[in-house]
């Protein structure tokens, strides 16, 4: 994946962390992933990627699958995607 759109994936603080951390059984178990995402420089592109691709599972950009569903329900996901598009120019 040399494509610029995916460059952020090599810069996440989750590199080398066990994948299970980002696929918790419940939102209550997502605290460790969220802690890592909170200090990740590529949190925003990560979240945008998950929204664009309707990722069904896992924590992306500090947001769990249930929280992404809620973002779509409340129109927050569409707004985040529009803002990302504007930033990309
Ligand atoms: S925001 Fe979280 S899941 Fe996304 S790259 Fe960073 S640490 Fe990994």
Q: How confident is the model at residue 88 (pLDDT cuts 50, 70, 90)?
A: confident
pLDDT in tens, 10-54: 999 999 999 999 999 999 999 999 999 999 999 999 999 999 999
Rg (CA), the chain: 13
Asked whether residue 89 carries a pLDDT value surpassing 90, the answer given is no
Check if the beta carbon of residue 58 is closer than 8 Å to that of residue 22: yes
**Domain membership flag for residue 36:** yes
Q: Which atom of ligand 1 is nearest to the CA of 12?
A: 5
- Tell me if 9 is assigned to some domain: no
pLDDT attached to residue 73: 96
10 in any annotated domain: no
In a domain, 71, yes or no: yes
Q: Whose CA is nearest to atom 6 of ligand 1?
A: 12
Q: Which of 34, 39, 40, 52 to mutate to test the pocket of ligand 1 (most atoms within 8 A of CB)?
A: 40
pTM, entire model: 0.90
Q: How far apart are CA 83 and CA 29, in angstroms?
A: 30
Sign of the dihedral defined by the CA atoms of residues 52, 53, 54, 59, in that order: negative
Q: Residues lining ligand 1, CB < 6 A?
A: 12-14, 22, 36-37, 40, 42-43, 46, 60-62
Number of separate domains in the chain: 1
Residue with tokens 């696929």: 23
> For residue 48, is it within any domain?
yes
**Structural domain boundaries enclosing 71:** 21-88
Residue 44 lies in a domain: yes
Q: How far apart are CA 77 and CA 57, in angstroms?
A: 16
The yes-or-no verdict on residue 77 having pLDDT over 90 is: yes
């Amino acid at each position: 994946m040399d494509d610029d759109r995916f460059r952020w994936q090599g810069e996440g603080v989750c590199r080398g962390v066990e994948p299970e951390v980002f696929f918790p059984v419940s939102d209550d178990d997502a605290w460790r992933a969220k802690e890592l995402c909170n200090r990740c420089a590529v949190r925003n592109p990560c979240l945008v990627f998950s929204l664009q691709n309707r990722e069904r599972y896992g924590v992306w950009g500090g947001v769990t699958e249930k929280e992404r569903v809620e973002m779509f329900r409340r129109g927050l996901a569409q707004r985040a995607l529009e803002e990302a598009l504007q930033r990309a120019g």
